[in-house]
C-alpha cells in the first residue's frame, strides 16, 4: 500500500588544505569517497561572501500561494493531500515522470472538489516545463534525492520559492549552489524537515529557549529505521502499488555511498535547540561506519531465486551503522547515527543535554530538570505549561490531517503562514545546506579512517548575528485550516 511508507517515519589535494582539521594517520593517503564528490575538499574550503542574508528575510507576502508539486510518489501524493487542507493554497500543477502518479493526485483533487491542476509527465525533465509556468509561487519537490537541488535551483531561477524534501543537497557543491541561487534571487529555499515540527521536539525547543536545561552542551539525533523491506522491493508496476521506491532509487544510494546518508531528521531539531546558523555553527565532524552485514547477504538471497536482483551483485553496500560526531564553533557536540538496514526499533534519539537537565525522546519520552527523571504527572504539567503556541494553534487539527502523527501538516501550515505574512521561514537555505552537508562530509571522513573535516560556513559569517526563528506565533498564525473530514481508520494510519 502506498500509505505504508508515508506513515512509518516513526512512523585534498588534501593535507594542509585547511579543510581537513584532523591529523593524518601514518601511512594512510587521504582518499576520495567513491561516490560523486571529486571536489569535496575544494568545495569545503570555499569562502563565501554573502550577497544577501536570507536568514531573517521575509519575501513579500502572498495572499494566495500557487503551488506546483513535483514527484508524486509516496511522499508527494501525501503532500497534495495535506496542502489541500490549508486555506489560501492553490495546487495549480502536478508533475511526475510517471503519468499514473499525476493522474492519481489529480483524481484526489477532483474528489474533494478542487479545480483541475495542469499535468506534466512522460519524461525525465518534464518538471522543467512545470517550473517554467508563469503563474506559480512555490515549487514543492518530493522526488528522489538526485533531483532536489536541480529542481530547487531551476525554480528559484524562474522566480519561484522552492521547498524540497530531505536532504535538499547530496553534495557540498549542490549546497553552495542552493545558497548562491537563493541569495541572488531572494527566493526562499526551504528544506522540508518535518521532524522539527514534531510535538516533543517543539516542546524541548521551547524549554531550551527558556533556559530550563541550562546551557545546552550536547545533542544526539538519528535515523534508525529498518528500510530493508522497502529498499529491496522490486517495483511491480507503474503504480508502485506495492510501496516500492521508484526505480529502487534508495537502494542505489545505499549501494554507492558510505556515510550518514540521511542525517537531517535527527540533526535538524538538535540544530534548532543549539541555534545553529543563529548564534553558533557546525564547525567540523568525524564519522565512522561499520561494515555491511545484511545488504550483501540479502542481495545474494534474492538473486538466487530472481535474476532481477543480480544487477546489484557488484555493489559495495554501505556499512549498516554510521556514527558521526560534530563539534560546533561554541564548543558544543552533536552525535548523529544512521542505520536503515538492520533490525532495531525506530529511533531518532532526540537527546538534548544541558548543564541543568536533559531530555530524550526514544525509546521513551523522558525529561530531567536536575538529576532525576520527571514523573508522569510532572511531565503532564510540563506539556500543559510549555507547549509552544504553534502546537496549541494547529496541533490537534494536525493530528487529524496527519502525516507522521501531524508534524508534516504543522510544517506545511507554518510554511504557508510565513509566505502569507511575509515572514522569514523557520528553515532557511543555510539550514538546509548545513544539515544536508553532513552526508557528503561523513562519506569523506568514513573513507579516510574517521579523519575530521570542516563543515562549511554557508552563512558567510552571518551566523554570529542571525536571530533564532519564532515558535510562539507572536505575530501571524492567521492561516485557517479547511474542514477536515477523515474516518477514524484513516486517522489511525497517521498515528506513529
Contact positions toward ligand NAD, by CB under 6 A? 5, 9, 70-76, 95-98, 101, 124, 127, 142-145, 147, 165-166, 194, 245-246, 249, 404
Nearer Cβ to ligand NAD (68/354): 68
Query: Quick one: cell of 335?
Result: 552525535
Of 86 and 168, CB closest to ligand NAD: 168
Shortest reach from residue 474's CB to ligand NAD, in Å:
27
Q: How far apart are CA 324 and CA 330, in angstroms?
A: 18
Report, in Å, the least distance between residue 209 CB and ligand NAD.
Answer: 24
CA torsion angle for 383, 389, 395, 398 (degrees, to 10)?
Answer: -160
Which residue lies nearer to ligand NAD by CB, 194 or 437?
194
Is the Cβ of residue 93 or residue 358 nearer to ligand NAD in the bound state? 93
Question: Please, are residues 350 and 269 in contact by the beta-carbon 8 Å criterion?
Answer: yes
For the CA atoms of 215, 217, 220, 221, the dihedral, rounded to the nearest 10 degrees, stands at 60
Least Å distance, CB 72 to ligand NAD, is: 5
- Least distance between ligand NAD and beta carbon 192 (Å): 6
In angstroms, what is the minimal distance from the CB of 318 to ligand NAD?
15
* CB of 160 or CB of 332, closer to ligand NAD: 160
Q: Which residues contact 399 (CB under 8 A, 6 or more apart)?
A: 405, 406, 491, 494
Query: Are the beta carbons of 95 and 143 closer than 8 angstroms?
Result: no
Q: Are strands 216-224 and 351-354 parallel, antiparallel or unpaired?
A: antiparallel
Cα 18 → chain centroid: 29
Q: Please classify residue 460 by burial: count the beta carbons closer than 10 Å to its beta carbon, then call 0-12 exposed, 13-18 middle and 19+ buried.
A: middle
Based on CB atoms, which residue is closest to ligand NAD, 20 or 79?
Answer: 79
DSSP letter string, 263-310: -HHHHHHHHHHTTBTTTB-EEEEEEEE---SSHHHHHHHHHHH-GGGG
Helix axes 389-401, 199-209, angle to 10 degrees: 180
When the beta carbons of 242 and 389 are compared against ligand NAD, the nearer one is 242
The minimum distance between CB 322 and ligand NAD, in angstroms, equals 16
Other C-beta atoms closer than 10 Å to the C-beta of 345 total 10
Picking from 186, 189, 140, the residue whose alpha carbon sits closest to that of residue 165 is: 140
Nearer Cβ to ligand NAD (203/227)? 227
What's the rounded Cα separation, in Å, for the pair 412 and 83? 7
* CA 298 – CA 305 distance, rounded (Å): 12
Q: Which is nearer to ligand NAD, 336 or 453 (CB)?
A: 336
Element at 208 (helix H, strand E): helix 199-209
Other beta carbons within 10 angstroms of residue 332's beta carbon come to: 22
C-beta closer to ligand NAD: residue 165 or 457: 165
Q: How far is the CB of 127 from ligand NAD (least distance, A)?
A: 5
CB neighbours (10 Å) of residue 62?
17
E strand or H helix at 62: none
Nearest to 415 by CA among 53, 59, 3, 127: 59
CB of 96 to ligand NAD, least distance (A): 4
CB of 489 to ligand NAD, least distance (A): 21
Residue 194 CB, nearest distance to ligand NAD (Å)? 5
User: Could you tell me the three cell numbers for 213?
Assistant: 536545561
Q: How far is the CB of 195 from ligand NAD (least distance, A)?
A: 7
Strand partners, 91: 67
The size of the chain, in residues, is 496
The smaller minimum CB distance to ligand NAD, of residues 99 and 283, is found at 99
* Closest-approach residue to ligand NAD (CB): 73
| Nearer to ligand NAD among residue 201 and residue 457 (C-beta) | 201
* Least spacing, CB of residue 202 vs ligand NAD, in Å: 16
Helices (H) and strands (E) in the chain, counts: 17, 14
Instruction: Pick between residue 140 and residue 284 the one whose CB is nearest to ligand NAD.
Output: 140
Cis peptide before 167 (omega within 30 of 0): yes
Closest CA to 218 of 289, 288, 290, 280: 280
Task: Please report where in the chains the cell 519561484 appears, as a residue.
Answer: 160
Q: How far is the CB of 146 from ligand NAD (least distance, A)?
A: 8
Amino acid at each position: 500500500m502506498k500509505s505504508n511508507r508515508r506513515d512509518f517515519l516513526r512512523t585534498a589535494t588534501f593535507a594542509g588544505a585547511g579543510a581537513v582539521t584532523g591529523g593524518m594517520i601514518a601511512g594512510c593517503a587521504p582518499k576520495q569517497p567513491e561516490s560523486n564528490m571529486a571536489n569535496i575538499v575544494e568545495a569545503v574550503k570555499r569562502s563565501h561572501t554573502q550577497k544577501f542574508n536570507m536568514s531573517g528575510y521575509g519575501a513579500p507576502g502572498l495572499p494566495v500561494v500557487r503551488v506546483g508539486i513535483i514527484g508524486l510518489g509516496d511522499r508527494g501524493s501525501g503532500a497534495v493531500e495535506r496542502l489541500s487542507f490549508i486555506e489560501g493554497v492553490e495546487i495549480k500543477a502536478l508533475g511526475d515522470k510517471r503519468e499514473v502518479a499525476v493522474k492519481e493526485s489529480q483524481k484526489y483533487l477532483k474528489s474533494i472538489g478542487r479545480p483541475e491542476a495542469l499535468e506534466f509527465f512522460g519524461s525525465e525533465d518534464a518538471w522543467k516545463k512545470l517550473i517554467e509556468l508563469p503563474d506559480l509561487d512555490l515549487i514543492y519537490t518530493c522526488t528522489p534525492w538526485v533531483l532536489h537541488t536541480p529542481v530547487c535551483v531551476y525554480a528559484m531561477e524562474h522566480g519561484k520559492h522552492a521547498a524540497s524534501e530531505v536532504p535538499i543537497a547530496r553534495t557540498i557543491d549542490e549546497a553552495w549552489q542552493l545558497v548562491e541561487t537563493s541569495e541572488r534571487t531572494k527566493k526562499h529555499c526551504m528544506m522540508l524537515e518535518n521532524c522539527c515540527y514534531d510535538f516533543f521536539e517543539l516542546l524541548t525547543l521551547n524549554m531550551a529557549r527558556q533556559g530550563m536545561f541550562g546551557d545546552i552542551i550536547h545533542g544526539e539525533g538519528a535515523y534508525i529505521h529498518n528500510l530493508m523491506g522497502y529498499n529491496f522491493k522490486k517495483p511491480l508496476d507503474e503504480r508502485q502499488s506495492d510501496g516500492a521506491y521508484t526505480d529502487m532509487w534508495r537502494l542505489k544510494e545505499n549501494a554507492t555511498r558510505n556515510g550518514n546518508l540521511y542525517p537531517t531528521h535527527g540533526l535538524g531539531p538538535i540544530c534548532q535547540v543549539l541555534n545553529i546558523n543563529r548564534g553558533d555553527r557546525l564547525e567540523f565532524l568525524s564519522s565512522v561506519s561499520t561494515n555491511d552485514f545484511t545488504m550483501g547477504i540479502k542481495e545474494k538471497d534474492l538473486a538466487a531465486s530472481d535474476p532481477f536482483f543480480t544487477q546489484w551483485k557488484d555493489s559495495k553496500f554501505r556499512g549498516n551503522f554510521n556514527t558521526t560526531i560534530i563539534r560546533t564553533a561554541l564548543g558544543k557536540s552533536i552525535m548523529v547515527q544512521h542505520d536503515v538496514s538492520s533490525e532495531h526499533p525506530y529511533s531518532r534519539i532526540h537527546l538534548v543535554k544541558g548543564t541543568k537537565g536533559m531530555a530524550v525522546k526514544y525509546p521513551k519520552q523522558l525529561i530531567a530538570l536536575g538529576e532525576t527523571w520527571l514523573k508522569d504527572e510532572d511531565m503532564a504539567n510540563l506539556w500543559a505549561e510549555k507547549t509552544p503556541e504553534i502546537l496549541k494553534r494547529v496541533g490537534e487539527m494536525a493530528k487529524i490531517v496527519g502525516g507522521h502523527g501531524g508534524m508534516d501538516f504543522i510544517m506545511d501550515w507554518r510554511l504557508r503562514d510565513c509566505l502569507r505574512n511575509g515572514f522569514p521561514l523557520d528553515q532557511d537555505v543555510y539550514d538546509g545546506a548545513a544539515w544536508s552537508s553532513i552526508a557528503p562530509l561523513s562519506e569523506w571522513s568514513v573513507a579516510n579512517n574517521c579523519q575530521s573535516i570542516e563543515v562549511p560556513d554557508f552563512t558567510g559569517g552571518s551566523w554570529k548575528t542571525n536571530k533564532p526563528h519564532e515558535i510562539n506565533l507572536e505575530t501571524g498564525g492567521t492561516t485557517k485550516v479547511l474542514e477536515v473530514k477523515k474516518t477514524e481508520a484513516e486517522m489511525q494510519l497517521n498515528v506513529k
